[in-house]
A and B are shown apart, each in its own frame.
Chain A
Amino acid sequence: MSTSSVSKGCFVFKPSSKKRRISSPTADYFSEGKNDSEDSGLRFATCQLLWKQINSETEKIQEELNKQLFDNLISFLRQSHSEFQTKKTEWMCRMKTSEIPTAALVLGVNVTDHEVTFKSLSEVLQDNITPYVVSLQAKECPGIKHLLQKLMGQLMDRCVDVDLSEEEECVNISQKKIRCSMASLSKWYESVTKKTGSETPSKKRTSSSRHWQFPPIVVIFKDMESFTTKVLQDFIIISSQHIHEFPLVFIFGIATSPMIIHRLLPHSVSSLLCIELFQSLSCKEHLATVIDKLLLTTQFPFKLSEKVLQVLINIFLYHDFSVQNFIKGFQLSIVEHFYSQPLSMLCCQLLEAKKRVNSLSHNQCENIRGLPSFRRYVESQISEKQIALLTEDSFLKEVTQTLLEDLHIYHENYFPVLRCLHVFTTSLPKYPLGKQIRELHCACLGKRVWETEEYGSAVQLLRMLAKAELVAILQKCVEIFTSSSGKQFSNTVEKLEEFLLRFQNLEAETNEVQDVSVSSQKELQKKTDLYHLQKTLLELKESKRSKKLTKFEMLRFEVVDFIDSLVRSYLAPAEMQTLNEVVYFNTANILREHLNAAPRIALHTALNNPYCYLKNQTLKSDVGCISNTAPDICIVYKLHLECGRLINLVDWLEAFSTVVTAVEGTDPDSVATDQVDEIIHARFIRAVSELELLGFIKPSKQKTDHVARLTWGGC
């Protein structure tokens, strides 16, 4: 069946039911289209498993991060209507002012992450406070009528969830399309609460023990800024009239700043609200935790290379602040890695990987031999071993197992040392190696960090640290190393503790040293006239310079040197590790192309330099010029760049035909046959309408037979 028609634009294709595939064929696509489909099933399974683990981990992180916020919100909700629960009359007294308790939830600009937060929020609220939680979005509520409809609809649905016996009744109600008003809402609330209240107390205790007899109705405005002011104002005013009849609580989701409430609502309306402010965790902290838990750990075998991580972080920082998108990028890189790297089947837990190495096929062994890092390794071996590695599969497998283990150990050492170094560098002024651990991580992944200028300046600054700071840092380092799983660090911990001990011992000694300085200080105080002061100061300086290093300074040097040696031995860049290709995903280009594409640039390149895509020698040209044999649309585009705001179609057509006829070799002076002319005309029409489709020009009424340009500049 064809999909072009002049009468309709939608075409549904339904295969006959027996032909339809039932099982999920995702794995098939994973292996299809690849020459080496070997082990693809295993690879896909590993990929899915890994992603599942990572996904659940991210959810856990999110939950933990939001816990504090949700707890606060819950206690606020409990408080806000506690009077309503106990004594209804008193509640009414208090509510004479008709103030609606409102929680303003400042969530930050990363709108895309909000959805998840709200989803878990309403779940938490339904579990703990009330079954009546309504989430409203601005796009669903263009008017107050829609808002009320939506509100009622969601509440009725909820009540179905809570009490199944009521189902038919509710359906009836919604089918009758009762008039949606606050009055009917309060009637409904009364009936619902009465019902639960009048039911047998025992049942009530079991089923709704978490909820009170009069659970509040919570209305969540997901995106408060996008609501029409009128709708919001009307709704608030109306509901403030009914606040006596049922407990109502608002939650405003705010992306910008709390000021927006006062900007959206006039004083007369905002005075009806009793607002309390809640601040969610900033997206930066969220990202830091995600990176910490997902990337800076040996828990997951899959790793991102420096460039890939840089791309993801840049998208986060320069485009959306969205942790969701970061995780999406992470997911994509996992999929890409397993899809493109045949050896990624070894990217799993160490024990499992070792098992898999044993069952490697010959092809896969050849793949290992092809890895650049492995070739480097082979070259560094003695010649007999080289031959063995390149010819004997069994020997190769043995070596691979040890290499994989080495890689694992490298990671086990890498992360604690990285954290340790981070503790040191964050205490430095101006943060030469970056404030966040992710920056430090990127620096270490990419190149030998100790060869960089920043590292040099950081070490220099470290040599000037005060004692108290140094001790605190060392203590933190000890904690990091003791909590890490690596066994090799027992020596390091011992060494660090020894340093700490020596610092303590120093204290006694320093008292003696102080005497000297105190005396000179005293001298200083005696002299009052300027000349002498200068003189003594100079003397002091002299003596300091010539003086031997104090014991503290010696010790400080020792500590810094020790840290430096740790860095040099453990923070070698990942690219240097043998078999790093198995676990590191490093085609950053793919990620950037798919996540942060630049469609305009692609279009521009295609129009200006078709040689980029069509590798034809006649199209080859220098920067900024175009061959006249280029596709029609390129020529037409090029010509239109020479025009101002309006373009005369006749001139354009003539210019075009000049170019085209020249290419075809027909003499422009000779009277061209009508046929050729027509074809050129048709080609011109096509090219111009294509440019219109692309949005470069539009028809203009300003002058007959003119089109207007829609873009400016261009080369």
Chain B
Amino acid sequence: MSQLELKRNKVLEARFVADEDVLKHISDNGGVKVRKDRAQLALNVKRFVKKLENISDDDEAQEILEEQNYVAVLGACAEDSLRNGPSAGGGKIYSFQTPKRSGKMAELASELAQTPGKNVTFDSSQYPEKPASTPQSSKKYSASNKAQLKSKKNEFVSTTPYRLRKRLTAPSLRSDSESDYSASCSEEEEEDKDHKETSDVILDQKTPSKTRAAPTPASKKTPAKKLKEEMTSNLVEEYFEAHSSSKVLTSDRTLQKLQKRKLDQQTLLVLLNKAPPAFTAELKELNQQHESLFSKWMLQLHLGFSIVLYGLGSKRDLLEKFRTSLLQDSVHLVVNGFFPSITVRSILNSITEEVLDHVGTFRSPLDQLDLIMKRFKEDSSVELYLLIHNLDSKMLRGDKSQQILAQLASLPNIHLIASIDHINAPLMWDQAKQSLYNWLWYETTTFSPYLEETSYENSLLVQQSGSLALSSLTHVLHSLTPNARGIFRLLAQYHLENKDNPSYPGLSFQDFYQRCREAFLVNSDLTLRAQLTEFRDHKLIRTKRGTDGVEYLLIPVDNGTLTDFLEKEDEDM
């Protein structure tokens, strides 16, 4: 029983386990557990997996069938026959799928790491439902487990006692320390494997029944006619299933616990420069291939086409090179689409003000566009090359912006060459816009890092979002009076005191006023209000009206940043 439970635990919260943890754990537990050579263990597991693969072939066949059906539904088949590039059908790449266990990533990583320099096959890539390095049965358990949580129809689950299922949700709460927990995990895993290893015969009998019990949707509907129809509805169901539960089956570890210093932009760049560049020769070759197309691009631009570049890797350097080598003698406009505050308006403004030397303002971008179109039509000698890096950036992907840019591109003496990166970028354009743009697509996979594109603060992840907020905080506050700073400090301290309180509504205005008075920071509630208005204008605080109609004050900055800020303030003082 206890073993079974442990097994279930492992399934729910399987995660990456560092090797030293495993060692520590084994030595801690003093020999009751397995003492096998690690390498041998891995070998055994692999052998075991292979065996199971054969058994589950049946399942896979079903899944392949499903996938093919899905592709057929999308009508992608017709095109597939046409395509002879290095490709696969669209359905195969981004179909809907049930979410996977959290530990998969770590497993894959360790597998990749175990064989340095060699290639590692992990079948999961082919058949995502199938586990690569974990025993089949546990996978099935996990599937049923999740299904249970989502109240999915599943025959297999009904056999599990409710008591047990109940306990499954507990471990994440129980785990007090991170290392401890992962250690226990690893123990279970090893034990699990060992258990399997020794009871091969039993399992061999067991697994087939399990695979059969597992709900493969396709197996139920033999009539081929219905299959297609049900397939689509099934996919829809799966999608919503994946998104319906708010349960997050990932570990609770946070970056803060990792004791890693947050990096700002400068240090990031410095560090990246230290990293050894890889595949320089190959990258150079790729770039040379693309560069040989430059004169062809120019020709096609002149013949009225626009050029769009796609493919993995930053295309900025490539376009820069194109610009410096071919456009030096002509009027051109470079637009950094990834620039966080770029707008169509600013593009139009630079055309009217700097290219056309027009003085005056416009009521709307449409008026401006009209003027530009008129001017360009009148004077055919004016030529403009428009280079847009990241046409699909957040600021430019709107329908209106794209419409305006498309109309610009449709002018015979404006030559547009742009790059896109987002996977859904082509969805921006409908037929009408596409015909205005008159695109010619060029695949320019460069593999070069998107340094410039991701360097602006708001395109980065949590690791960095603090730094700019912090610097802006300090900057704004330095321009204020000491009293005002004190007021903000008070609020920040109160905020931090309550950081563990999930239902913390904020500090009510009256309380705040009281505190400020006690600290001799304000003398009337009018002064406080005036001060608060200033804070609000700088987005330092937010007010919210509670259920009782009282005004509450909040600081919309994450706690880490706030702590940093207070520490810094203390240093300054």
A-to-B contact residues, CB < 8 Å: 3-6, 8-15, 19-22, 24-26, 29-30, 32-34, 110-112, 115, 139-140, 310-311, 314, 318, 320, 322, 324-325, 328, 331-332, 335, 339, 589, 592-595, 597-610, 612-616, 618-629, 631, 633, 635, 638-656, 658-659, 661-663, 665, 668-669, 675, 677-679, 681-683, 685-686, 688-690, 692-696, 699, 702-707, 711-715
Among B54-62, B224-232, B248-256, B469-477, the stretch in contact with A: B248-256
Q: Tell me the complex Cα distance, A707–B286, Å.
A: 32
Give min CB distance, B144 to chain A, whole Å.
16
Please give 20 more A-B residue pairs, beta carbons under 8 A apart, in addition to A643-B104, A690-B449.
A10-B349, A13-B327, A14-B331, A111-B430, A115-B435, A339-B296, A593-B443, A594-B442, A599-B420, A600-B90, A613-B445, A625-B119, A638-B108, A642-B108, A653-B258, A663-B116, A668-B18, A703-B252, A706-B250, A711-B94
Given A602-B443, A659-B112, A649 and B462 touching (CB < 8 A)?
A: yes
Asked if B346 and A639 sit within 8 Å, CB to CB, the answer is no
Asked if A715 and B126 sit within 8 Å, CB to CB, the answer is yes
* Chain B positions 210 through 254: 1 when the CB is less than 8 Å from some CB of chain A, otherwise 0: 000000000000000000000000000001001100101111111
Residue from the set B119, B351, B421, B454 with the largest chain A CB neighbour count within 10 Å: B119
Q: Tell me the complex Cα distance, A11–B86, Å.
A: 37
Chain A, Cβ-Cβ closest to B307: A594
10 closest Cβ contacts across the A-B interface? A644-B99, A9-B339, A597-B441, A662-B113, A655-B109, A33-B295, A642-B104, A606-B312, A682-B271, A9-B342
Which residue of A13, A589, A621 is within 8 Å of B331 (Cβ)? A13
Give min CB distance, B262 to chain A, whole Å.
10
Give min CB distance, A323 to chain B, whole Å.
11
Asked if A3 and B299 sit within 8 Å, CB to CB, the answer is no
Q: Tell me the complex Cα distance, A30–B108, Å.
A: 50
Q: Tell me the complex Cα distance, A631–B286, Å.
A: 15
Given A614-B447, A714-B94, A605 and B112 touching (CB < 8 A)?
A: no
Residue from the set A10, A627, A693 with the largest chain B CB neighbour count within 10 Å: A10
* Chain B positions 435 through 470: 1 when the CB is less than 8 Å from some CB of chain A, otherwise 0: 100101111010101111110100111111000000
Q: Tell me the complex Cα distance, A654–B442, Å.
A: 36
Q: Tell me the complex Cα distance, A244–B459, Å.
A: 59
Asked if A648 and B336 sit within 8 Å, CB to CB, the answer is no
Within 8 A of A (CB), among B377-395: 381
Asked if B302 and A322 sit within 8 Å, CB to CB, the answer is no
Given A19-B329, A622-B121, A686-B454, A694 and B421 touching (CB < 8 A)?
A: yes
Asked if B106 and A654 sit within 8 Å, CB to CB, the answer is yes
Give chain B residues whose Cβ lies under 8 Å from the Cβ of A692. 454, 459-461
A-B contact pairs, 22 of them (CB 8 A): A12-B350, A325-B435, A592-B83, A599-B426, A601-B85, A601-B93, A606-B313, A613-B282, A625-B120, A633-B312, A644-B249, A650-B254, A654-B18, A654-B106, A658-B110, A659-B112, A662-B113, A677-B260, A678-B263, A713-B97, A714-B93, A714-B128
Asked if A690 and B454 sit within 8 Å, CB to CB, the answer is yes
Give chain A residues whose Cβ lies under 8 Å from the Cβ of B430. 111
Within 8 A of A (CB), among B291-348: 292-296, 298-300, 302-303, 305, 310-313, 320, 323, 327-339, 341-342, 346-347
- Asked whether any CB of chain A lies closer than 8 Å to the CB of B526, the reply is no
Asked if A24 and B302 sit within 8 Å, CB to CB, the answer is yes
Chain B, Cβ-Cβ closest to A320: B431
Within 8 A of A (CB), among B68-102: 75, 78-79, 82-88, 90, 92-97, 99-102
Q: Tell me the complex Cα distance, A26–B263, Å.
A: 49
Give chain A residues whose Cβ lies under 8 Å from the Cβ of B239. 712
- Asked whether any CB of chain A lies closer than 8 Å to the CB of B9, the reply is no
Asked if A642 and B335 sit within 8 Å, CB to CB, the answer is no
Given A593-B443, A601-B85, A655 and B106 touching (CB < 8 A)?
A: yes
Give chain B residues whose Cβ lies under 8 Å from the Cβ of A22. 381
Asked if B125 and A595 sit within 8 Å, CB to CB, the answer is no
Asked if A15 and B334 sit within 8 Å, CB to CB, the answer is no
Residue from the set A20, A653, A659 with the largest chain B CB neighbour count within 10 Å: A659
Chain B, Cβ-Cβ closest to A631: B447
Asked if A651 and B105 sit within 8 Å, CB to CB, the answer is yes
Q: Tell me the complex Cα distance, A29–B307, Å.
A: 15
Give min CB distance, B46 to chain A, whole Å.
15
Give chain B residues whose Cβ lies under 8 Å from the Cβ of A685. 263, 268, 460-461, 463-464
Given A592-B82, A715-B125, A658 and B282 touching (CB < 8 A)?
A: no
Residue from the set A320, A592, A597 with the largest chain B CB neighbour count within 10 Å: A597
- Asked whether any CB of chain A lies closer than 8 Å to the CB of B519, the reply is no
Q: Tell me the complex Cα distance, A14–B332, Å.
A: 7
Q: Tell me the complex Cα distance, A642–B426, Å.
A: 26
Which residue of B283, B349, B431 is within 8 Å of A112 (Cβ)? B431
Give chain B residues whose Cβ lies under 8 Å from the Cβ of A601. 85, 87-88, 90, 93
Residue from the set A5, A14, A621 with the largest chain B CB neighbour count within 10 Å: A14
- Asked whether any CB of chain A lies closer than 8 Å to the CB of B25, the reply is no
Give chain B residues whose Cβ lies under 8 Å from the Cβ of A3. 320, 323, 334, 336
Chain A, Cβ-Cβ closest to B340: A9
Asked if A599 and B441 sit within 8 Å, CB to CB, the answer is yes
Give min CB distance, B383 to chain A, whole Å.
9
- Asked whether any CB of chain A lies closer than 8 Å to the CB of B122, the reply is yes
Give min CB distance, A42 to chain B, whole Å.
16
Q: Tell me the complex Cα distance, A625–B302, Å.
A: 43
Give chain B residues whose Cβ lies under 8 Å from the Cβ of A115. 435
Which residue of B122, B423, B440 is within 8 Å of A594 (Cβ)? B440
Asked if A318 and B113 sit within 8 Å, CB to CB, the answer is no
Give min CB distance, B38 to chain A, whole Å.
11
Give min CB distance, A641 to chain B, whole Å.
7
- Asked whether any CB of chain A lies closer than 8 Å to the CB of B510, the reply is no
Chain B, Cβ-Cβ closest to A667: B19
Give chain A residues whose Cβ lies under 8 Å from the Cβ of B366. 140
Q: Tell me the complex Cα distance, A693–B448, Å.
A: 14
Give min CB distance, B274 to chain A, whole Å.
6
Given A13-B333, A20-B331, A712-B94, A689 and B461 touching (CB < 8 A)?
A: yes
Q: Tell me the complex Cα distance, A620–B305, Å.
A: 37
Asked if A712 and B97 sit within 8 Å, CB to CB, the answer is yes
Give chain A residues whose Cβ lies under 8 Å from the Cβ of B445. 602, 606, 613
Chain B, Cβ-Cβ closest to A614: B282
Give chain B residues whose Cβ lies under 8 Å from the Cβ of A13. 327, 331-334
Asked if B125 and A603 sit within 8 Å, CB to CB, the answer is no
- Asked whether any CB of chain A lies closer than 8 Å to the CB of B5, the reply is no
Asked if B354 and A707 sit within 8 Å, CB to CB, the answer is no
* Chain B positions 31 through 64: 1 when the CB is less than 8 Å from some CB of chain A, otherwise 0: 0000000000000000000000000000000000
Q: Tell me the complex Cα distance, A115–B434, Å.
A: 13
Chain A, Cβ-Cβ closest to B245: A645
- Asked whether any CB of chain A lies closer than 8 Å to the CB of B272, the reply is yes
Chain B, Cβ-Cβ closest to A2: B320
Asked if B282 and A625 sit within 8 Å, CB to CB, the answer is no
Give chain B residues whose Cβ lies under 8 Å from the Cβ of A605. 86-87
* Chain B positions 165 through 198: 1 when the CB is less than 8 Å from some CB of chain A, otherwise 0: 0000000000000000000000000000000000
Which residue of B18, B90, B299, B349 is within 8 Å of A335 (Cβ)? B299
Give min CB distance, B526 to chain A, whole Å.
36
Asked if B250 and A600 sit within 8 Å, CB to CB, the answer is no
Which residue of A4, A314, A620, A643 is within 8 Å of B82 (Cβ)? A314
Q: Tell me the complex Cα distance, A111–B434, Å.
A: 11
Q: Tell me the complex Cα distance, A659–B122, Å.
A: 14
Within 8 A of A (CB), among B103-136: 104-110, 112-126, 128
Asked if B106 and A651 sit within 8 Å, CB to CB, the answer is yes
Residue from the set B104, B243, B296, B425 with the largest chain A CB neighbour count within 10 Å: B296
Given A668-B113, A689-B460, A707-B461, A597 and B331 touching (CB < 8 A)?
A: no
Asked if B336 and A9 sit within 8 Å, CB to CB, the answer is yes
Which residue of A609, A663, A695 is within 8 Å of B86 (Cβ)? A609
Asked if A682 and B275 sit within 8 Å, CB to CB, the answer is yes
Chain B, Cβ-Cβ closest to A690: B450
Which residue of A10, A602, A621 is within 8 Å of B342 (Cβ)? A10
Give chain A residues whose Cβ lies under 8 Å from the Cβ of B303. 26, 331, 335
